[in-house]
Amino acid sequence: MGVDAENGWRLGEGLRSLLFSSSACIANLEGVLGEHTCPALKTGKPIQGNIRLARLLNSTGIQAVSLANNHAFDYGWAGVKTTMEALEEQRVLYVGAGECEEDAWRFESIMLGECRVGIIGISHNEFGVACGEQPGVAGFDELMALRSVRAAKESCEKVIVLYHGGIEYMRFPSPNLRKRCLFLLEAGADAVICQHSHIAGACEVVGGKPIVYGQGDFMAFTSHRSIQEAKCPAFVVELQPYQKTAGFKLKIHPIRIIRTPISPSTEMLKEEALAEALIEMNEIDALLSDRPKWKRKWEESVRQMGPAMESQLAQASSFRRRLGGRISMFRKRVPTQYLTVLENMIRCEAHYEAIIAWLTRRSTGGES
């Protein structure tokens, strides 16, 4: 869920009925609530919405949100604080961010019928990751994830992890993302729901435990061509807990964001559009059961992304070398955007997995 929405955003009747008939609703809140004017130094456009959005979340039945994402610190810790305060005022629970690393990794619990479910928010490691006593979001770490899942399991029957990771507009998982999600299931999570891709992604069920590799946007304007062309650009995930075994029964409800002159709306797909969306998603899901085909799709994506990423790396390092390497006074004048690009490509899993795969291919003669 992006925070482009204001109170004018409308939900279709079918979608409202689905939300209000549910025992509980959770979401990914990507961005800041407040009126801040000084964005943090990072890559990407800062995202900010009015604090009234917290009331909109409450009114649509959303009980908890994850703040673990790459836009939570778009306006620094001040932006996170106003977001938390707005959510607390509306009694909306939040996970995935905190005043220190330990706080960012805490879980909250909600009731799904008679089943107590722990909610954990985790982000891939971009900007604003909590470290020690430093505030931030819960950046993926195997040991912290294991501790958090086990802590939630002590008091909850089920655990859901909202993981903000993956590659934007990619409808299937990279090898590293799939490995991490499977690790979270092995650690004890009963479902892993991924965001960040901005488009509906593949789903798979392992031992009764579902993994969703991307939901798409619920309230946000994204004009990328892949979203406009998709039969199923996004969906709402419905999870029904199994009573005697681990995991959840998974069902998806395809949706689409509609732009109108009066107000934007999110609508559930119906009839022919719904049938086409489900066919598309079945085809995408099937990719994961064909490992050679999935691997070929990943390699194809690396070939498409690689040249642009290599160019970004070369541009940033070349600029630094040309100026900083000749006259020491220039070291202070290297544009910070070059440094943040380098930092993000090296630290963020979604970027470095792709660039390493591309450079390995180049160095071994797989691509000229």
Q: Give yes or no: residues 193 and 326 share one domain.
A: no
Task: Report yes or no on 2 lying in a domain.
Answer: no
Residue finishing a domain among 241, 272, 289: 289
Q: Give yes or no: residues 333 and 226 share one domain.
A: no
Q: Give yes or no: residues 146 and 197 share one domain.
A: yes
**Residues 130-159, mean pLDDT to the nearest whole number:** 97
Q: Provide the mean pLDDT of the chain.
A: 90
Task: Report yes or no on 5 lying in a domain.
Answer: no
Residues 75 and 32: beta-carbon distance below 8 Å = yes
Quote the CA–CA distance of 233 and 255 in Å, as a whole number: 7
Q: How far apart are the first and last CA of the chain?
A: 40
Q: Give yes or no: residues 50 and 191 share one domain.
A: yes
Q: Give yes or no: residues 118 and 189 share one domain.
A: yes
Q: Give yes or no: residues 223 and 314 share one domain.
A: no
For the CA atoms of 337, 340, 346, 352, the dihedral, rounded to the nearest 10 degrees, stands at: -60
Task: Report yes or no on 339 lying in a domain.
Answer: yes
Residue 138: which of 101, 108, 179, 107 has the closest Cα?
101
pLDDT-based confidence at 311, cuts 50/70/90?
Answer: confident
Q: Which two tokens stand for residue 93?
A: 């629970």
Residues 159 and 193: beta-carbon distance below 8 Å = no
Task: Report yes or no on 3 lying in a domain.
Answer: no
Q: Say how many C-beta atoms besides its own lie within 10 A of residue 35's C-beta.
A: 11
Q: Give yes or no: residues 95 and 152 share one domain.
A: yes
Task: Report yes or no on 4 lying in a domain.
Answer: no
Q: pLDDT tens digits for 315-335?
A: 765 555 554 555 454 445 556
pLDDT, greater one: 281 or 319: 281
Q: Give yes or no: residues 301 and 218 share one domain.
A: no
Residue finishing a domain among 242, 274, 289: 289
Residue 98: which of 53, 68, 65, 137 has the closest Cα?
137
Quote the CA–CA distance of 16 and 14 in Å, as a whole number: 6
Q: Which two tokens stand for residue 204?
A: 């798979």
Domain of residue 272, residue span: 10-289
Q: Which of 25-39, 255-269, 324-338, 350-364 has the highest mean pLDDT?
A: 25-39
- Angle subtended at Cα 292 by Cα 290 and Cα 297, rounded to the nearest 5 degrees: 95
Q: Which residues of 303-325 are buried (b: 16+ CB within 10 A; e: fewer)?
A: eebbeebeebbeebeeebeebee
Residues 29 and 67: beta-carbon distance below 8 Å = yes
Q: Say how many C-beta atoms besides its own lie within 10 A of residue 231's C-beta.
A: 18
Task: Report yes or no on 51 lying in a domain.
Answer: yes
Q: Which two tokens stand for residue 241?
A: 């807990």
> In terms of DSSP H, where are the helices of the chain?
13-20, 53-59, 76-89, 101-104, 142-155, 175-187, 225-229, 271-286, 291-324, 336-347, 349-363
Q: pLDDT tens digits for 135-147?
A: 999 999 999 999 9
Structurally, how many domains does the chain consist of?
A: 2
pLDDT, greater one: 355 or 278: 278
pLDDT, greater one: 312 or 5: 312
Q: Give yes or no: residues 24 and 101 share one domain.
A: yes
Task: Report yes or no on 67 lying in a domain.
Answer: yes
pLDDT-based confidence at 221, cuts 50/70/90?
Answer: confident
| pLDDT value at 107 more than 80 | yes
**Residues 287-294, mean pLDDT to the nearest whole number:** 96
Question: 0.75 exceeded by the pTM?
Answer: yes
Whole-number pLDDT of residue 115: 96
Whole-number pLDDT of residue 138: 98
Q: Give yes or no: residues 265 and 127 share one domain.
A: yes
Residue finishing a domain among 237, 260, 289: 289
Quote the CA–CA distance of 32 and 84 in Å, as a whole number: 9
Task: Report yes or no on 191 lying in a domain.
Answer: yes
Q: Say how many C-beta atoms besides its own lie within 10 A of residue 327's C-beta.
A: 9
Whole-number pLDDT of residue 322: 52
Q: Give yes or no: residues 131 and 30 share one domain.
A: yes
pLDDT-based confidence at 29, cuts 50/70/90?
Answer: very high
| pLDDT value at 6 more than 60 | no
- CATH of residue 154: 3.60.21
In angstroms and rounded to an integer, the radius of gyration of the C-alpha atoms of the chain is 21
pLDDT-based confidence at 5, cuts 50/70/90?
Answer: very low
Q: Give yes or no: residues 311 and 172 share one domain.
A: no
Residue 52: which of 75, 25, 83 has the closest Cα?
83
